[in-house]
Structure 1
Amino acid sequence: MKIQLLLFLLLITLSGYSQNKKEALTRELVSAETDRIYEKLVKIRRDIYANPELAGNEKRTQEIIKKYLLDLGIEVKTDTYGHSIIGILNGEKKGKKIAWRAEMDALPNGQHGCGHDVHMAIGLGIAEILAKNKESINGTVYFIFQPEEETFVGAKKMIEQGLFSIINPDEIYSLHVTALPVGQIMVKPNEMFAYQKRIRIKLKNELSKEEVKGLTRKMYSSLSRSQLNSKPWEIQHMSDPKIGLMNPNTIFKDYMIVDDKFNIYSEKDELFLETYLYETNQSNLQKIIPKIEQLIGEERYKDKLLSISFIQENPTVVNDEKLTKSAIKTLNGIYGSNLVVPDYGQAPYFNDDFAYFQQKVPGVYFFLGGSNIEKGIVAMNHAPNFNVDEESIKIGVRSFSSLIMERLNDKKLYQKGK
């Protein structure tokens, strides 16, 4: 491997050496090293999967990650928030500063049914590839292993408690394994998910059960919006090549989904109606409350209305346009145009607190394919039969190690701040 590295360094410094040949060398070097560590990463992933830890309790997971990073010679900090870990890898020369984020916690049911175990294995793999080849990279890489993503508080708390006084990345990246075929990566500029809101309508507790049922049904039918004959709430179709996210005619664009399972309860003289809304168009969000007020008036309950408010408004993942286009170009240039597939829609229901990092640093969030239908593996997050083809670990490590190396070593990108 050292001979490969020396050859790599020699060739990329030769004057006139073409970009295509440099990309080929990057591919061969990273692919070989990924193959070498693959079984080790699978073993770690399976260990974490067998020992899931809920948000706020990621102690054992933290120790595994900490030891792995320290063994690589990476500087480690664990005093930012909760069981978070920050790994800092400095290259031989100054350059860009890039951060990679992976989540640590399991689902509330005590299972890794969302793929965070895979994400951690990929993060550790990227760390090893770059640490073993730090002589060939310029700049600094930060590895953020974040707790408490499922509760949507980990990223925000890390920031509030001084993350960016410890690190100062120019750009940040992350991924989420999902039901795409293994071997595919999907990404797009701007919103990756629909905007998620939880709304609360407070009324005088003077409506009958039938009146409440009719009102919620009216709100559902009046607020819901989708393309003709489409059902964007059927998320099992997200990877369908005919109507899924990768098709320009996807059903997962220009919609508003209203969860028809309203939480209805009363306290003293007040009646509460609560539900989740998923809207793709940010400009429509400000119209929701006035529209509900109008609807309640039309149903002759205006005098019963006490208030309408959003009680949960998590930010959504919004990819930096320039970084996303650059990442697509780089990955397809190294591994071929079939690696990154386009995304024409916005996924409903899911979201990620990576959005808080993106509010501070330009960033890109990728979907990584984890399904293999031939093996009966479907990586539909949070589903009871969620499973992941572990080849996705290899794809993730190989692809994103290469991306980070290219971003660090392109002097034009560093000098121009692109």
Structure 2
Amino acid sequence: MKKLPLTLLCFVSSLLSAQGLNSKKEAIVHSSTRVEQMVHQSVQQETDRIFNKLVNIRREFHENPELASQEKQTQEKIKQYLLDLGLQVQTDHYGHSVIGILKGDKKGKKIAWRSDMDALPNDYPDPEAFKSKIKDIQHGCGHDIHMAIGLGIAEVLSKNKKSLKGTVYFVFQPEEETFKGAKGMLNSGLLSKINPDEIYGLHVTATPVGQIMVKPREMFAYQRKIRIQLKNGLSEDELTGLSKKISSSLFRVSNGGKPWEIQSIVDPKIGLTNPDTVFKDYLFTDGKFNIYSKNSESFLEAYLYETNASRLVMIVPEVQKIIENSGYQNKLLSVSFVQENPTVLNDEKLTHSAIEILQNVYGKNSVASDYGQVPFFNDDFAFFQQKIPGVYFFLGGSNFEKGVIAMNHSPNFRVDEESIRTGVKSFSSLIIERLNQN
């Protein structure tokens, strides 16, 4: 056999060594992938195992709703559930809040999952067999579903504790409907005690059951309540005419749409999942201005919905100009926003990471793109996002074939409970993967 030159022998030797190293790396990667697959299979199996239990506790919440600041029984149920899982539990932060703390077997980052707790004051028809036992109070927004999902994630992750590299905080927040709970918890020093690196939450909505929808930045339109203060002397007709002129002058929609027709969010042609959705680039007032007199002065008030944050500062000067051009400059006393809550604003980097994780684990169709912003609704989860990078998801709850329509705050509001299964497995996997991405 012909002897190879020394330089060629060295090259072959190094190549074989490199191939050996690559084989080891590939083996490690394959092994890691198999472990990840096993973890997520365990998540799905555990979710299926506890699903009926979660449905039952959801129905208990639904039958026994409590208004904002009155969530005492709800707090006790959540507290006991988390204690039974072996979590540390804190109830001394604000109101009837509950914090469950799950520490993984390994050190790592800290992630919070938020679920809201309170119900609504309403007497809408409730078609469920397990309807509210409390007169004029209902879980008509889906917070009973949110709590069941939060407890489910806590149970699944507690059973997969060995896979957790870090700490998970389960934040059960009261008083969301009054927009006070998140701010109250923060003002009470929540972050000085738990200080998570990132936070996640969801809201069940009217889209198809099990569909997860998310987008970077704004999920809702910016809501502002505008008040115009005028000297007395204008007739009712003049005030009505002025309010109509203001509404029509501010009015802006895309594609000739009607974004105030909230039921259209599920329409595949114009709804949130269509890039040409009518739920983007709009400004409109919510119905007629409220006109009233007080202390010899007249007031016009209305809610505005604007999708573009940079245009908000233009609205008050524009309204002032409309009034002046209408010949009422001598009557104008002030124009101001008297309510301007922040809107949910998803962290771009975290949102893209969450989408990638969910699609890698549960397939490309597991997350739908959201191209619009929903008017009328909002969530005080926004206050958490001002302090902590976070992502807020929509989770579909409607089953149109069964006549189940999860249109929040509406008569006959119902949720397909399969959404609980989707929420628990998907977001348990998301949290595990985010903890592993240290």
Q: Does 1:208 align with 2:235?
A: yes
* Cross-structure match for 1:10: none
Q: Which runs of 4+ in 1 moved over 4 A?
A: none
Say yes or no: does 1:378 pair with 2:405. yes
Offset, 1:262: 1.7
Q: Who is 2:70 aligned against?
A: 57
How far has the Cα of 1:23 moved from its partner?
Answer: 4.3
Report how far residue 385 of structure 1 moved: 1.8
Kept after mapping to 1: 8 A contact 2:229/2:332 = yes
Q: For 1:262-277, what aligned pairs fall within 5 Å after superposition?
A: 262-277=289-304
Partner of 1:24: 37
* Number of the residue aligned with 1:43: 56
**Which residue of the other structure, out of 134, 155, 174, is the alignment partner of 1:147?**
174
SS at match of 1:16: helix
Shift of 1:239: 1.2
Q: Do structure 1's residue 321 and structure 2's residue 348 form an aligned pair?
A: yes
Give the letter aligned to residue 325 of structure 2.
Answer: E
Shift of 1:224: 1.2
Gaps of 5+ in 1: 1-13
Q: 1:349 aligns with which of 370, 373, 376?
A: 376
Q: Given the superposition, is the C-alpha separation of residues 233 and 93 from structure 1 closer, same or farther in structure 2, using an over 3 Å criterion?
A: same
1:17 Cα shift? 2.3
Residues 77 and 85 in structure 1, CA contact (< 8 A), matched pair in contact too = yes
1:242-257 superposed matches below 5 A: 242-257=269-284
1:251-310: CA deviation from partner (whole Å, max 9, x where unpaired): 000001211222211112111111100000001000000000000011111110111111
- The match for 1:330 is 357
Q: Is the 8 A contact 2:96 2:174 kept in 1?
A: yes
Q: State TM-score, norm by structure 1.
A: 0.94
CA distance in 1, matches of 2:32, 2:368: 23
CA deviation vs aligned residue, 1:348-388 (integer Å, no higher than 9, x gap): 11000000000111000000000000100011111112110
User: Sequence identity of aligned pairs in percent?
Assistant: 67
Asked whether the equivalents of residues 343 and 382 of structure 2 are also in contact (C-alpha less than 8 Å), the reply is: yes
TM-score normalized by structure 2?
Answer: 0.89
Alpha-carbon distance, 1:73 to partner = 0.6
C-alpha displacement at 1:19, in angstroms?
A: 6.0
In structure 1, C-alpha distance between the alignment counterparts of 2:144 and 2:187, rounded to whole Å: 25
1:235 aligns with 2:254: no
- Answer yes or no: is the 8 Å Cα contact 1:220–1:259 preserved in 2: no
Q: Secondary structure at the match of 2:75?
A: helix
Q: Deviations over 1:25-75 (max 9, x none)?
A: 233111110010000000000011011100000000000000000000100
Matched positions, count: 398
The answer (yes or no) to whether the contact 2:225–2:337 under 8 Å persists in 1 is yes
Contact 2:39-2:163 within 8 A present in 1 as well: no
Partners of 1:170 and 1:364 in 2: CA distance: 12
How far has the Cα of 1:18 moved from its partner? 5.6
Q: Which 5+ residue runs of structure 2 have no aligned equivalent? A: 1-26, 123-136
Assess, with a 3 A threshold, how the Cα gap between structure 1 residues 23 and 331 changes in structure 2: closer, same or farther. Answer: farther
> What is the aligned counterpart of 2:100 among 71, 87, 90?
87
Within the candidate set 189, 194, 198, 2:221 is matched to 194
Q: CA deviation at 1:102?
A: 0.2
* Match of residue 316 from structure 2: 289
Residue pair 1:92, 1:136 contacting (<8 A) in 2 also: yes
Bigger radius of gyration? 2
Paired residue secondary structure (1:176): strand
